[in-house]
């Protein structure tokens, strides 16, 4: 079951990255969807769907150890259907919460489209500095510790059955969102969701969660973001947005 889980998640990740590479995102476009100033349900749903694909591509690689370990804990469950339901519930809840985070991002993106370029540069500078400071905050470190320790998370949040899988997937997604939300805001405001920024932030997220010394990687990233924010504030024409 663990091998099947890894294979399934890797397949989803590959498909999501292929979708991103085939439909690059720009400042006024996400996955081929031209945004308009007046929000509509259809546009919001399309945006959230595209955002969900991007989150699957970016977040699943760093979530594989957690979901894989959870799958391994289900080996003692007699029913294959019950095992599958719990694992799918965990992974689906994780991805659903990340996709749902695209809704406030959608409205924020619409608001940014109405901002003049000069003001947008200073907003971008503020976002970069704020995100950099968050990288060294206690909240970031708490959430990152939960993300970096799959065994500790499972021991502290264990729930049995498929309902338990849903609850644990939700809890893990909340910690992951708490850990990475500032980087996603940088992706939208500073990078305008351009593919180079998607790749860069995906690598940063994976390094924070998977490599030794991830806490220090987060702090170093924070310093880099603050410095970049100061540079944008001093030189508003700095071309960091796609």
pLDDT digits 0-9 by tens, 132-142: 999 999 999 99
pLDDT digits (tens, 9 = 90+) for 71-114: 888 887 768 888 889 999 999 999 999 999 999 998 888 888 77
Please check whether residue 241 lies inside any domain of the structure.
no
- What stretch of H or E contains 30? strand 29-30
Of the chain, the percentage scoring pLDDT greater than 70 comes to 89
Q: How far is it, in rounded angstroms, from Cα 204 to Cα 207? A: 5
Q: How far is it, in rounded angstroms, from Cα 111 to Cα 127? A: 15
Please check whether residue 129 lies inside any domain of the structure.
yes
71 close to 211: Cβ distance less than 8 angstroms = no
Buried b (16+ CB within 10 A) or exposed e, 199-226: ebbbebbbbbbeeeebbebbbbbbeebb
Where do the H-state alpha helices sit in 114-194? 117-135, 138-148, 150-157, 161-189
Please check whether residue 87 lies inside any domain of the structure.
yes
Please check whether residue 7 lies inside any domain of the structure.
yes
Q: How far is it, in rounded angstroms, from Cα 239 to Cα 188? A: 15
- The single-letter DSSP state of residue 138 is H
pLDDT digits (tens, 9 = 90+) for 155-176: 999 988 889 999 999 999 999 9
Please check whether residue 240 lies inside any domain of the structure.
no
Please check whether residue 242 lies inside any domain of the structure.
no
Please tell me the least confidently modeled range out of 20-24, 50-54, 56-60: 20-24
213: left (phi over 0), alpha (psi -120 to 50) or beta: left
Distance from first CA to last CA of the chain, Å, rounded? Answer: 42
Q: Which domain holds residue 166?
A: 2-234
Please tell me the least confidently modeled range out of 8-12, 86-90, 150-154, 229-233: 8-12
Please check whether residue 239 lies inside any domain of the structure.
no
- Give the count of domains, the chain: 1
pLDDT for 184 equals 93
Instruction: Name 34's bridge partners.
Output: 29
189 close to 196: Cβ distance less than 8 angstroms = no
Instruction: Give the pTM.
Output: 0.85
Please check whether residue 94 lies inside any domain of the structure.
yes
Q: How far is it, in rounded angstroms, from Cα 193 to Cα 184? A: 9
């Amino acid at each position: 079951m663990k091998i099947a889980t890894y294979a399934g998640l890797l397949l989803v990740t590959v498909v999501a990255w292929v979708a991103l590479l085939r439909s690059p995102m720009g400042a006024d476009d996400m996955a081929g969807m031209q945004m308009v100033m007046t929000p509509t349900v259809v546009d919001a749903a399309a945006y959230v769907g595209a955002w969900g694909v991007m989150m699957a591509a970016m977040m699943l690689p760093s979530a594989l150890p957690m979901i894989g370990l959870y799958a391994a804990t289900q080996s003692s469950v007699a029913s294959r259907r019950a095992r599958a339901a719990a694992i799918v519930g965990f992974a689906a809840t994780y991805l659903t919460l990340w996709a749902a985070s695209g809704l406030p991002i959608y409205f924020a993106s619409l608001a940014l489209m109405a901002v003049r370029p000069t003001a947008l540069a200073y907003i971008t500078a503020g976002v970069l500095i704020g995100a950099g400071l968050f990288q060294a905050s206690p909240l970031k470190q708490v959430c990152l510790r939960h993300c970096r320790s799959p065994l500790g998370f499972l021991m502290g949040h264990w729930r049995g059955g498929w309902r338990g899988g849903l609850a644990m997937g939700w809890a893990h997604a909340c910690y992951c969102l708490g850990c990475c939300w500032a980087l996603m805001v940088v992706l939208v405001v500073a990078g305008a969701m351009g593919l180079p920024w998607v790749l860069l932030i995906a690598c940063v997220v994976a390094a924070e969660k998977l490599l030794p010394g991830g806490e220090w990687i987060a702090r170093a990233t924070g310093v880099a973001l603050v410095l970049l924010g100061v540079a944008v504030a001093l030189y508003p024409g700095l071309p960091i947005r796609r």
